[in-house]
Amino acid sequence: MDLSLSGLASGFDWKTFVDQVIATQRTPITNLNNEKTANLNKKAALVDLNTKLTALQTSSTALAAASLFTSRKATSSTANSTWNPQASTGATAGNYSIAVSQLATAARLDGASHVGNPLSPTNNVSALTMSSLPTAVAATAGTFTVNGKTVTFALTDSLDQVFTAISTATSGAVTAAYDTATDKITLSSASPILLGAANDTSNFLTVAKLVNNGTGTVTSSGTLGTVDQYATLASARLSTAITAVDGSGNGSFSVNGVSIAYNVNTDSLSAVLQRINASTAGVTASYDGTSDRVVLTNNTTGDIGVSVSETAGGLLGAVGLTTGATLVRGKNALYSVNGGGTLTSPSNTLDATSHGITGLSVTVDSVSTQAISVSGDTGAMTSAIQDFITKYNDVQSYIEDQSKITTSVAGKVTTSVFSSDREVQSWADSLRTIAFGAVSGLSGTISRLENLGIDFTTGTSQLSIKDSAKLNTALTTKAGDVAQYFQTASTGLAAQLQTFLTKVTTQDTDQQDQLTATNTDLDAQIANLQRRLDQQKEILTNSFIAMETAQSKLQSQASALNNAFPTTTSSTKK
């Protein structure tokens, strides 16, 4: 028989009785657990509050930034202006009329034109196919129009066959020929020639540089043969050979004193130009296919030169950057400020180095006159002040909400996590005192928030900007006084807030640590009490099991006696 089953022998539900006794004695543990939960809730609230205090501290630090009240903005009064005015911190405030009479440009060295070989070494172009025509723009097959007649050709046709097609289409009225001496094509007719139509499908007339002139003779407007900038230099169709190289084809030249190496057997003109651009020469090198020339352009504007040098017979000579080159001088920007004398700037960014106005730079891109205003960046100042107000109100609202005590209609009182915490409540009081108080010893006219149009909302601890016009006027005309109010060392509002908030965030953390330590102690107490209850329950349980055992033995003995001495009852009738 399992006598651990409650009441099996005695009929008494002693297990329920034991549970009730133990439950009655668990009250201290329940109270400790409730205390522990309250501590956890308070710690969570302190963590949230610490976050809000830290945010307010960050906001007050922003108010203490040295550049905040000296920040400047520059604007143009010209609608949709493409000028870019910029004002750095501490720039001289004022209004400036800037009249630009000349923009700065970059100097460039234009190489001689037509440095490539002509289309053909002879006037005979019967072997020159349209697909291999060495012109600046590749020819496209199709049709073009001469005197209203359609001329059709394929890329497999030779240039001579195209000439024949022109004559055939015009019934011999227009003839075409190529002159290798001038590297040009000439169309001839006894009457004015009319070229092109809206539905032409080939670009031949453009490739050949043939344009209407109202006469019977139309000649290419420029030479036609060009350099192949993607072939190796040795086979790039340069009309002047490159001879200043060693046995392996290596040569070099310099641009603005920077040496550039090349190899005529492995480098193309395009590769050499890219090498110049990647160097520290400070120029951009490019190939102009229309004029068949190389151009070096300074990367900076202004009247400064471009210098090149090499041994005679080198690449620069072959592309016309030595003999025959033309230096197009750069221009300095010319302008005046407020009707003054002409000022000069090598750059189109006009800054203090040329106009002398501290902190102001204006990047211009047009010859015009614009009014530029430099003023305090009140937007940044207002934003920083509004952020402080928001963060301040957030702290005050949180402390008030977590400290309130309410009473229901039935008279039930409900408290909050900080209701009995006078230290936390004193933080809110101290913050109000700091915000409401005046900063003493200032020489300016701003000594309290009220002077900035900021005050408490009636009946609350919440700050608000009650007079935005007053705030804007103070920031616009008395930014220095505002800076003193917030930023004076030790006594300014920002300094007071930083000192106070550093202290209370530490106190907040200390309270959290104390609550953690308290809960650790409570856990130990709960464990100790639980151990005692477990021991008591075990004693009671064992006692009742012993009782059940004794009761079971008595019942067994009684049953044995009854079986040994049965009781017999008889009756006789007479």
Question: Tell me, what's the pLDDT at 11?
Answer: 63
> Judging by beta carbons within 10 Å of its beta carbon (0-12, 13-18, 19+), is residue 12 exposed, middle or buried?
middle
Residue 507 to residue 50: CA distance in whole angstroms:
10
Helix/strand/coil for 185: strand
Helix/strand/coil for 376: strand
- Find out whether 36 and 527 touch, Cβ atoms under 8 Å: no
Question: How is residue 325 written in tokens?
Answer: 């080159």
Residue 454 to residue 315: CA distance in whole angstroms:
74
Question: How is residue 316 written in tokens?
Answer: 């620069």
Mean pLDDT for each 10-residue chunk of the chain (574 residues)?
Answer: 50 78 86 91 96 97 93 94 94 94 98 95 96 93 97 97 97 97 97 97 97 97 94 96 96 98 97 98 95 96 96 97 95 97 97 96 98 92 96 96 92 91 95 94 94 93 95 92 95 96 96 94 92 87 79 76 70 48
Residue 175 to residue 232: CA distance in whole angstroms:
37
Residue 102 to residue 330: CA distance in whole angstroms:
12
Helix/strand/coil for 349: strand
Helix/strand/coil for 466: coil
Residue 474 to residue 378: CA distance in whole angstroms:
10
- Find out whether 449 and 421 touch, Cβ atoms under 8 Å: no
Closest CA to 256 of 309, 205, 206: 309
Question: Tell me, what's the pLDDT at 220?
Answer: 96
- How far CA 485 is from CA of 12, 336, 475, 490, 502, in Å, comes to 83, 39, 12, 11, 20
Give how far the C-alpha of residue 68 lies from the chain's centroid of Cα atoms, to the nearest Å: 22
Question: Tell me, what's the pLDDT at 574?
Answer: 46
Amino acid, res. 76: S
Q: Is the pTM of this model over 0.75?
A: no
Phi, psi (5° rounding) for residue 557? -65, -40
- Find out whether 159 and 133 touch, Cβ atoms under 8 Å: yes
- Find out whether 439 and 493 touch, Cβ atoms under 8 Å: yes
pLDDT digits 0-9 by tens, 387-441: 999 999 999 999 999 999 999 888 898 999 999 999 999 999 999 999 999 999 9
- How far CA 270 is from CA of 248, 286, 295, in Å, comes to 20, 8, 12
Residues ≥6 apart with Cβ < 8 Å to 426: none
Question: How is residue 347 written in tokens?
Answer: 């750059």
Q: Is the dihedral of CA 336, 340, 346, 350 positive or negative?
A: negative
Question: Tell me, what's the pLDDT at 211?
Answer: 97
Question: Tell me, what's the pLDDT at 567?
Answer: 65
Residues ≥6 apart with Cβ < 8 Å to 164: none
- How far CA 89 is from CA of 269, 359, 378, 478, in Å, comes to 48, 7, 13, 16
Phi, psi (5° rounding) for residue 177? -155, 155
Residue 269 to residue 149: CA distance in whole angstroms:
41
CA 108-109-110 angle, to 5 degrees, is 110
Question: Tell me, what's the pLDDT at 3?
Answer: 42
Phi, psi (5° rounding) for residue 544? -70, -35
Q: How many Cβ atoms are within 10 Å of 550's Cβ, its own excluded?
A: 13
97, β-bridge pairs: 371
- How far CA 331 is from CA of 339, 356, 364, 473, in Å, comes to 22, 21, 14, 44
- Residue 234 is given by DSSP the state G
Question: Tell me, what's the pLDDT at 544?
Answer: 79
pLDDT digits 0-9 by tens, 20-77: 888 888 889 889 999 999 999 999 999 999 999 999 999 999 999 988 999 899 999 9
Question: Tell me, what's the pLDDT at 6?
Answer: 52
Question: Tell me, what's the pLDDT at 309?
Answer: 97
Q: How many Cβ atoms are within 10 Å of 493's Cβ, its own excluded?
A: 23
Question: Tell me, what's the pLDDT at 59?
Answer: 97
Question: How is residue 415 written in tokens?
Answer: 């408290």
Helix/strand/coil for 387: helix
302, β-bridge pairs: 106
